[in-house]
Each structure stands twice: as C-alpha cells, then as structure tokens.
C-alpha cells in the first residue's frame, strides 16, 4: 500500500473526505516510528473567576498502548485505564450520582465543531462526557491536522474540566496500524465504563459509517449531535454562542490562504467564497478554540508565523 494511502486512514477520522484516493495529507501527520501511547491528563475543573491551576503543571500519565514491532496490546493499558477511571472522583462524575446518565468519551480535535458538539452533548442532560480523545503528531508535538501545540491542548482541557487522552500517531501509519491503535483506544474506553462516544461530524457519510463500524460489537454507541444540520446555521451558532476560534490550518486549494491566523467570526464568514463550506467540513480549514461554552476561563494566545508546508498553510499559535 502506498504511504499516502496509509496516512489517509490516519486522517480519515478527522473529517476530511469520503474520497480516500484524492485525500490530501498535511505534513504534521508525518511521524517517526515509535511506541504508540495513550497519554491521560487529569485536572480538576475550576471556575472562570478563579483559575487557580492556570500556571500549575497538570499530572500526566503515559500509557503504553501498542508495541511498535508486534502491534499487540500491552497489558499495562488495563491497569492504567483503571487508575485514570479512579481519578474521575476528582472530577465529580455526574453519572455516579444518577445511574440514568450515560458515561461518554468525546473525539476531540480542539476545534470549533468539537466544541459545539460537546456543548450540545453536555446540555442534553443524559450524558456525562468524562474524557476527550485526541490524536497527536508525536514528532511535531501537535494535534493532528489542526497543528495545535500540546501545551495549548492541555490547557484547553483544563479549562473545560475534562480528562484528556492523547493517542500518539506513528509514521508511516498504515490502515492496519491505525485501526489497531484506535481499537486499543476503544478498548480503553470500554474498560473505563463508557457506553457512548461523541463525534462532531456534520455531513460526511463515509466517515460516519467508518466510525459506526469501528464500534460494532463493543456495546458503545457513537453519537453525532451536529449531524445533517445546516453548516450555515451551525457557523452562525458557533459565533453567536461565544465560541472563539483561530484558524490554524488552511488547504489553499480549497480556501483562501489569507484566512490562516484569522479569528473565526462573523466578518470572516461574510468573506468566505461560496465554494468554501462555512464549517470547513470538507477540510478547507481547521481551528483551535480558546474560549466558549463550558470553558472555565479563556486561553491567552499569540499568533506567530504563518508558514506553508507541503501545500498546507499553518498559523503557529502559542501561549501568551
């Protein structure tokens, strides 16, 4: 299998397209061979007015997930997952008080769609989202596709008050390796007592079908709270509900390169060409959210250099 086809599956779950042969791969997905890992970040939620742990180093547990030579699941994953589950007592898991509330993880990109989907899921009242699952580029130390620095992702999760689980992606990432890696993440979710998994997908049917197949036989039900909603309406809702997002990655073949580093706001939506989906659902652009519903406090960020690598335009965002 060509390397690009293998990397395609690595990006598949990031809502790019259901046409894999034409999939374009951002360079931040090119990672070195290394042991796969899940990394858990656990942090108590604080109020917006008193971000007491703003400068505190959060406790991080590195969980070996797969061996890079045999790709067999490591037995230490179960013990580590149990330990992380115990830490939910710190987060005051709501379903411990109400058995009718389903325990859920969320597929977390750090962007605007994930943020709105999380808010919808949490406001439903029947879900307790106890963890965010994010795929990382281990070499670049950034979120896959969105190119967000690890420390910003961790601070984002702290503000949301939700445990963060990071999956370190290898390179090359063949279909088999990716599915084995994500299968281990799903197994960890099941071990954590999860019955629901939330996604921010909007209309790409191929990706939804792929996700649903991934959870077959696990007892975990994938949920899509934004599914088939108008992206024009969703974009306006994101802005009106206070989601503050910066555009961190642009595919210049689909969207103007000049929007890299700009705020995702009403002015930008007015300027987008009609050919660009206002939510970037076809992979036109990706974002990083610094404030919005559910955030205990906003993240202070600075937009640095705008660079182009292998056909994609990236805005480097770092903590102020």
Cβ within 8 Å of residue 247, ≥6 positions away: 259, 260, 261, 262, 263, 264, 268, 285, 286, 287, 315
The most confident of 38-42, 63-67, 191-195, by mean pLDDT: 191-195
Token pair for 124: 């439903």
CA distance 131 to 24: 29
Q: Decide if pLDDT at 63 tops 90.
A: no
How high is the pLDDT of residue 302?
97
CA distance 136 to 144: 5
- β-pairing, 312-319 vs 301-309, is antiparallel
How high is the pLDDT of residue 124?
83
CA distance 30 to 7: 8
CA distance 51 to 163: 17
How high is the pLDDT of residue 210?
93
Q: Decide if pLDDT at 51 tops 70.
A: no
Higher pLDDT, 141 or 112: 112
**pLDDT bucket at 199, cuts 50 / 70 / 90:** very high
**pLDDT bucket at 98, cuts 50 / 70 / 90:** low
**pLDDT bucket at 268, cuts 50 / 70 / 90:** very high
Facing residues of 36 across strands? 66
Domain 3-230 has CATH 3.40.50.620: yes
- Is residue 128 a contact partner of residue 192, using CB atoms and an 8 Å limit? no
Q: Decide if pLDDT at 23 tops 90.
A: no
**pLDDT bucket at 96, cuts 50 / 70 / 90:** low
Q: Which residue has the tokens 């984002």?
A: 156
Token pair for 170: 């290898």
pTM value is 0.76
- What are the domain boundaries of the chain? 3-230
Print burial letters for 49-68: b (CB count within 10 Å at least 16), e (below 16). eebebeeeeeeeeebbbbee
How high is the pLDDT of residue 171?
63
Largest alpha-carbon pair distance within the chain? 53
Q: Is 301 helix (H, G, I), strand (E, B) or coil?
A: strand
Q: Decide if pLDDT at 263 tops 70.
A: yes
Higher pLDDT, 109 or 8: 109
Listed range (12-21, 40-49, 92-101, 205-214) with the worst mean pLDDT: 12-21
Token pair for 68: 């890079």
How high is the pLDDT of residue 83?
36
Print burial letters for 16-38: b (CB count within 10 Å at least 16), e (below 16). bbeeeeebbbbebbbbeeeebbb
DSSP symbols for 91-139: HT-GGGT-TTSEEEEEE--SSHHHHHHHHHHHHTSSEEEEEEEEEEETT
Q: Is 38 helix (H, G, I), strand (E, B) or coil?
A: strand
- Is residue 24 a contact partner of residue 283, using CB atoms and an 8 Å limit? yes
- Upstream peptide bond of 124 is cis (omega within 30 degrees of 0): no
Q: Decide if pLDDT at 257 tops 80.
A: yes
pLDDT one-digit tens code per residue, 138-189? 778 899 889 999 999 999 999 999 999 998 887 666 777 778 888 899 999 9
Q: Decide if pLDDT at 313 tops 90.
A: yes
CA 101 to centroid of chain Cα atoms: 23
For the chain, how far is it from start to end, CA to CA, in angstroms? Answer: 43
- The closest of 16, 22, 39, 246 to 135, measured between CA atoms, is 39
């Amino acid at each position: 299998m060509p390397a690009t086809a293998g990397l395609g599956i690595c990006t598949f779950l990031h809502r790019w397209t259901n046409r894999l042969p034409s999939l374009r791969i951002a360079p931040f997905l090119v990672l070195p061979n290394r042991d796969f890992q899940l990394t858990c970040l656990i942090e108590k939620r604080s109020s917006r007015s008193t971000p007491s742990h703003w400068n505190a180093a959060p406790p991080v547990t590195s969980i070996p997930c797969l061996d890079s030579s045999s790709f067999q699941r490591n037995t230490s994953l179960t013990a580590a997952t149990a330990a992380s589950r115990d830490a939910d007592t710190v987060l005051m898991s709501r379903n411990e008080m109400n058995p009718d509330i389903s325990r859920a993880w969320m597929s977390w990109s750090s962007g605007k769609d994930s943020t709105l989907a999380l808010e919808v899921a949490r406001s439903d009242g029947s879900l307790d989202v106890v963890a965010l699952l994010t795929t990382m580029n281990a070499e670049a130390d950034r979120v896959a596709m969105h190119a967000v620095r690890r420390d910003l992702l961790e601070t984002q999760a702290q503000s949301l008050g939700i445990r963060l689980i990071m999956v370190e992606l290898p390179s090359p990432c063949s279909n088999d390796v990716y599915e084995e890696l994500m299968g281990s993440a799903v197994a960890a979710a099941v071990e954590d007592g999860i019955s629901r998994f939330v996604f921010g997908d909007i209309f790409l049917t191929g990706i939804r079908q792929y996700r649903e197949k991934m959870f077959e036989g696990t007892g975990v039900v994938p949920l899509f709270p934004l599914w088939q909603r108008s992206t024009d309406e969703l974009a306006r809702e994101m802005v009106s509900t206070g989601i503050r997002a910066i555009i961190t990655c642009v595919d210049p073949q689909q969207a103007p390169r000049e929007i890299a580093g700009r705020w995702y706001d009403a002015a930008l939506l007015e300027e987008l060409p009609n050919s660009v989906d206002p939510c970037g659902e076809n992979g036109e652009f990706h974002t990083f959210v610094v404030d919005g519903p559910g955030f205990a406090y906003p993240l202070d960020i600075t937009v640095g250099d705008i660079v182009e690598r292998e056909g994609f335009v990236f805005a480097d965002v770092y903590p102020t």
